[in-house]
Amino acid sequence: MSRAGQYRRYAAECLRLASSKDDVGEKAVLLQMAEQWRELAERTEKEEREP
Q: CA angle 26-30-33, nearest 5°?
A: 140
Domain ranges within the chain, ordered by starting residue: 3-49
Task: Give the global pTM.
Answer: 0.89
**Cβ proximity of 4 and 49 under 8 Å:** no
Q: Answer whether residue 30 shows pLDDT above 90.
A: yes
pLDDT of 5 above 80: yes
- Give the rounded percent of residues in the chain with a pLDDT score beyond 70: 100
When pLDDT is cut at 50, 70 and 90, the band that residue 36 belongs to is very high
